[in-house]
Chains A and B, each alone.
Chain A
Amino acid sequence: MNGQRENLFRPQLMRIAQASEETPDVRTLRLEFRDGKAPPKFEWRTGQFGQFSVFGAGECVFTITNPPTRGGHIQCTFRQTGKVTSALRNLSLGQSVGFRGPYGNYFPMDDWRGRDLLFVGGGIGMAALHAPLQLALDRRADYGQILVLNGARTVADMVYKEEMKEWANTNGVTVVRTVDPGGETPDWDGEVGLIPNVFERLNPKPNGSIAITCGPPIMLRFMLLALEKLGFSPERVITTLENKMKCAVGQCGRCNVGRFFVCRDGPVVTAAQLKNLPADY
């Protein structure tokens, strides 16, 4: 940029290589770099996020849903909610999407080697769990038992339906699906119940395991209570914060939770950290 510092706000140009509709309003995109390969030194860690651009509509924050073990491209899963996500839903294969990132902190997967892992996701919250779960499956031997609890309002709203079958077939992985009462179909063979209730019914033992949970604010609130009730240590309960973001580099002042900037100090936080943060999210 004229020999000055690089433009912080300039995205990488990516191309939509694949698109799949998880549900009527949730889409997963696989984005590849324009010239087919990632720029040198492009790396990210599980849990980091990016700002995805639809030029003309704006930018939107999504977690990078593929782990570094499946690199060379970027994946994201999002639900159509507003201006940018609606524009993203209307793009077709080959069209341009901008990517700015990776930003934020990450899940310390290396620290969790040898432990059992629990993934509890509500609705689109599963997208935030996708990368750490896939990493754990790719490095299966590094981790203990894995429990995946995927909840949605209705059967139609459940994401990663196909992938779940793959996960369930992996050694030492238990997949439990649940829908809210009233959301089941006559042939539903999963659980019925609100996620925290189903979780309590499963009654997993803490045993030093790591519990990662993401979902809508209300689900999160009750999940954290349930985890506490079942004796999970707050340092080993992990979630991600989701505040509205624009610059994603700690300057625009929008995503702060007290002193904590979600874009810079998060989005990954432990329940212990959360207790010390003001309820500004």
Chain B
Amino acid sequence: MKTNGWRLTETEWRSWLEGLLRAGKSVIAPVEENALRLFSPVTSAADVVVENYSNTQWSPKEFLFPRSEPLLFYRFRGDETELEDPGLDDKEQVLFGLRPCDVAGLGRLDDIFLGESADPFYEHRRKQTTVVSLACDKAEAACFCTAVGGSPAATEGSDVQLVPRAEAWLLQALTPRGEELIAGSASAWTPASAEDWRQAEEQRLGVEKTIERSPLSKDWAPRLEETFAQPLWEKLGQRCLGCGICAYVCPSCSCFDMNDEGNALCGTRCRSWDSCAFTRFTQHASGHNPRATRPPRYRQRVLHKFSYFPLEHGERFMCVGCGRCLKLCPVGLDIHQTVRAAVSKGTPGEGHQ
């Protein structure tokens, strides 16, 4: 039960953001463009849109792991080649308005990019980033954070959290970095009361109750691994059309491709997002492809999220339950349903898939 923290009006937190902008920080927040909610750097706090906001169309991962970025530059001089590293931006960035599921997604990206061979580009951006999350006051039909060990008001990974309440916004700083972020403005704010936090907790429980998808057990990670060779995957992956939407909107998908682009004088080696759903993902130059058809590729995605990653990184699923892949999949594949079906050996309900 929290006893510190503040109780803010919307005007107060907007003006706090405005202050951050004036201090030269980059503030990235949900905005609306052409009826789409997307994360974007804002030039004014007035542009931040949080009403009727469940979640953005895509995850905010592109601000730590860009869609495309240069890894190095090369230039030819006769037989010699010169290489140059890309410069790194030193601007501080505040990611504002992330739902707890998206914050959890950043945590999964940390596991991948900040492991044994840390990625210098990701690491740099991560160091420049402060996370202000926005707890959820309602869940959508596609949400299932609780099924994978998350929560609508989880604070792990957040530096500051805002909780929308009926008449006000509660705010708490969770890390030294978070405290630094609010240092300039907090003195003018009204402290929150214990009752405020008690109600926030009730709100959280209320939201959790509305999430219908059942919890997935951590024990299933090894069981899923065992289903690899089973024919049930042919049915489960049958309607997948092999686009990259699920991987690209997902907060924790991190696979990428590397390509050289240039001309006879110079060029760039860049990396871009890639998806295990594409045919070419694992195809060798010889033509051999370990995952030649769509069902094995669908299987890879599911097992990576719910089996290989948890077994490797200590029991937390790679999936954070944000529900975007469910909403945006052109053919309505439901990864939660797939996992349950795979574990119960292919009896997903009505005898069809």
B120 contacts the other chain (CB 8 A): yes
The reply to whether A252 and B255 form a contact with Cβ atoms under 8 Å apart is yes
Are B118 and A278 closer than 8 Å at their CB atoms? no
A-B contact count (CB 8 A): 139
Among A7-15, A109-117, A131-139, A267-275, the one that faces the other chain is A7-15
Q: Give the residue name and chain of the B residue nearest to A263 (CB).
A: B117
Quick one: closest B residue to A51, CB to CB? Answer: B258
Instruction: Tell me the minimal C-beta distance from B183 to chain A in angstroms.
Output: 27
Given A56-B260, A252-B255, residue A9 in contact with residue B290 (CB < 8 A): no
Chain B residue at minimal CB-CB distance from A60? B285
Neighbour of A4 across the interface among B88, B264, B290, B308, CB < 8 A: B88
Query: A243 at interface (Cβ–Cβ under 8 A)?
Result: yes
B81 adjacent to A13 (CB under 8 Å): yes
| Beta-carbon contact of B254 and A55 below 8 Å | no
Q: B290 contacts A243, CB within 8 Å?
A: yes
Interface SS majority for chain A: loop
Are A59 and B276 neighbours in the complex by a CB distance under 8 Å? no
Instruction: Give the bracket for the number of chain B residues in contact with chain A.
Output: 35 or more
Q: Give residues 252-281 of A contacting B (CB, 8 Å).
A: 252-254, 256, 258-259, 264, 278-281
Min distance, Cβ A231 to any Cβ of chain B, angstroms: 27
| Residues A232-259 near B (CB distance < 8 A) | 242-244, 246-247, 249-254, 256, 258-259
Contact between chains at A246 and B120 (CB < 8 Å)? no
B195 at the interface (CB under 8 A from A): no
Contacts of A182 in B (CB 8 A): none
Q: Which of A80-88, A152-160, A198-206 contacts B (4 or more CB under 8 A)?
A: A80-88
> What does DSSP make chain B's interface, helix, strand, loop or mixed?
mixed
Chain A residues with Cβ below 8 Å from B267 are: 55-56
Chain A residues with CB under 8 Å of B260's CB are 55-58
Contacts of B85 in A (CB 8 A): 1-2, 7, 10
Encode A22-37 as 1/0 by CB contact (under 8 A) with B: 0000000000000000
Tell me, in angstroms, the Cα distance from A278 to B224 when the chains sit together. 12
- Beta-carbon nearest neighbor of B225 in chain A: A258
On whether A246 and B256 interact (CB within 8 A), knowing A7-B85, A258-B308, the answer reads yes
Q: How large is the interface on A (under 10, 10 to 19, 20 to 34, 35 or more residues)?
A: 35 or more
Q: Which residues of A contact B254 (CB under 8 A)?
A: 251, 253
In the complex, the chain A residue whose C-beta lies closest to that of B247 is A253
Inter-chain contact B81/A96, CB cutoff 8 Å: yes
Docked complex Cα distance between A250 and B85 (Å): 21
Which residues of chain B from 135 to 155 have a CB within 8 Å of any chain A CB? none
Annotate B270-283 by CB proximity to A: 1 below 8 A, 0 otherwise: 01001010000111
Chain A residues, CB < 8 A from B259: 58
Inter-chain contact A244/B88, CB cutoff 8 Å: no
Interface pair A247/B256, CB less than 8 Å apart? yes
Given contacts A1-B120, A252-B255, A252-B256, contact A9 B269 (CB under 8 A): yes
- Complex CA gap A247/B274 in Å reads 12
- Complex partner residue of B276 from A6, A58, A253, CB under 8 angstroms: A253
A217 at the interface (CB under 8 A from B): yes
Q: Which residues of B contact A10 (CB under 8 A)?
A: 71-72, 83, 85
Query: Is B304 located at the chain interface by the 8 A CB criterion?
Result: yes
- Interface-forming stretch among B7-15, B108-116, B208-216? B108-116
Asked whether any CB of chain B lies closer than 8 Å to the CB of A5, the reply is: yes
Q: A95 on the interface (CB 8 Å rule)?
A: yes
Interface string of A51-89 (1 = CB under 8 A from B): 001011111100000000000000000000111110000
| Bound complex: CA A258 to CA B288 (Å) | 18
CB distance from A82 to the nearest CB of B (A): 3
Q: Does B76 contact A (CB under 8 A)?
A: yes
Q: Which A residues are in CB contact (< 8 Å) with B291?
A: 280
User: A2 contacts B87, CB within 8 Å?
Assistant: yes
Contacts of A249 in B (CB 8 A): 117
A250 partner residues in chain B, CB cutoff 8 A: 115-117
Asked if A9 and B258 make an inter-chain contact with CB atoms under 8 angstroms apart, the answer reads yes
CA distance A254 to B284 in the complex (A): 11
- Tell me whether B258 and A252 are in contact (CB under 8 A): yes
CA A249 – CA B258 in complex, angstroms? 13
CB distance from A157 to the nearest CB of B (A): 14
Is B33 interfacial (CB-CB < 8 Å)? no
Are A256 and B285 CB-contacts (below 8 A) given A247-B258, A250-B117? no
Give the shortest distance, in Å, between B348 (CB) and chain A (any CB): 22
Among residues 281 to 338 in chain B, which have CB atoms less than 8 Å away from a CB atom of chain A? 281-286, 288, 290-291, 296, 300, 303-304, 307-308, 311-312
**Inter-chain contacts of A281 with B (CB < 8 A):** 290
B229 on the interface (CB 8 Å rule)? yes
Please tell me if A94 contacts chain B, counting CB pairs below 8 Å: yes
When C-beta atoms are compared, the residue in chain B nearest to A255 turns out to be B282
B184 within 8 Å of A by Cβ?
no
Closest Cβ of chain A to B225, distance in Å, is 7
Say whether B229 contacts A278, CB under 8 Å: yes
Q: Is the CB of A252 within 8 A of B81?
A: no
Q: Which residue of B lies closest to A92 (CB)?
A: B79
The answer to whether B282 touches A7, judged by C-beta atoms less than 8 angstroms apart, is no
13 interchain pairs, CB-CB under 8 A: A2-B87, A4-B124, A7-B120, A55-B81, A57-B260, A58-B258, A58-B259, A96-B81, A243-B284, A252-B256, A256-B300, A258-B225, A259-B312
> Footprint of B on A, CB under 8 Å?
1-2, 4-11, 13, 15, 53, 55-60, 81-85, 94-96, 98, 217, 242-244, 246-247, 249-254, 256, 258-259, 264, 278-281
Q: Which 4 A-B pairs have the closest CB atoms?
A: A82-B285, A253-B255, A5-B120, A96-B81
